[in-house]
Amino acid sequence: MGADYTFACAQVRSAERNLLNRERLSIMVEAKTMEDALKVLQEAQYGTEGETILPAAYERTLVQETAKLYRFLTSIAPEEKEFRIFSYPFDYHNIKTLLKAEFLGVDGKPILMDGGTIDPSVMAVLIKERNYIPMTSHMKTAIEESVDTHARTRDPQCVDLICDRECYADVLEAAKETGNSFVVGYVRLLIDTINLKTFVRCQKMGQPWSFFGSVFLPGGNIDEKVFVAGYDEPFHQFAARLVPYALVGAAEEGGASMKETGSFTALEKLCDDALIQYAKKAKYVSFGLEPLIAYSVAKQMEIKSVRIILAGKAAGLEPALIRERLRETYG
């Protein structure tokens, strides 16, 4: 399989040189104005060539950069389906948006996102007509169950919970279909990070463990019973249960920060950093799917850090506060 990826890996290694390292992100953090910060992005080939990125339009630029990432990867990869682990969340964002818009009697099309396996305009027609033929079985389940549950409860939150569960079932299946243990391992770790963050929020909100069971995503390395067994424990004590798992460090350090500050910020950052650390294993793979998947993870984290910087600057936050929220870089 490695020979099939010779061209793709060469393209990705070249693209990696444009990734923003810690030094370039620091320049953005320390920039006196938003315009100066955005110049760093333009040097890294964000936005449309020849056009200046305007402060008021930076969010649109970041959305476009995400879409550009998937166009790039699917254009060089031997098989487009290998990136469905990243595409399905965009499909499900659109499903959520369209269903909620339908329930409220409004137009959800203006906030649909590109990057999924189904074109947003096509998805809008499919959901309106309840045509499931081009969808996965999990998408069909998500739509039918959301419609039924909302009709009984009138609770729009049910759409998010149901769609998230079915989304990550699709993502895990897509990972397994690649036959690549690195990809499967990444998705299992991703699910673990989501469950850990959800666990903390449920605890903080005083929700019963039965509620956590309704939002728990199966398919990760950490079984639901591990979370349930420690649900009534202080989080720093629960963290000791994660010693056999990759997220023990994030849980311990994030738990200590929560105890001191009451904020989830450090835990969220540490969970993202764990994903980057996992992705860095691909640096030692010369040819194969691994470098392409790792580059996608790295670029997504970069975009997240850029969004943190620009949102922080727009809000007038001190550079030190912005810097401590930045995700680890791939370089």
CA end-to-end span of the chain, whole Å? 26
Task: Provide the pLDDT for residue 78.
Answer: 87
Q: What is the largest CA-CA distance in the chain?
A: 56
> What integer is the mean pLDDT of 50-79?
89
pLDDT digits (tens, 9 = 90+) for 120-129: 999 999 999 9
pTM: predicted TM-score of the whole model, two decimal places: 0.93
Amino acid at 317: L
Place of tokens 């906030």: 111
The answer to whether residues 328 and 41 touch, using CB atoms and an 8 Å cutoff, is: no
Task: Provide the pLDDT for residue 125.
Answer: 97
330, 247, 246: which is closest to 291 by C-alpha?
330
pLDDT digits (tens, 9 = 90+) for 178-195: 999 999 999 999 999 999
d(CA 231, CA 175) in angstroms, rounded, equals: 30
Checking if the pLDDT of 2 tops 60, the result is: no
pLDDT digits (tens, 9 = 90+) for 247-301: 999 999 998 888 888 888 999 999 999 999 999 999 889 889 999 999 999 999 9
Boundaries of every domain in the chain: 83-178
DSSP annotation of 325 reads T
The answer to whether residues 78 and 64 touch, using CB atoms and an 8 Å cutoff, is: no
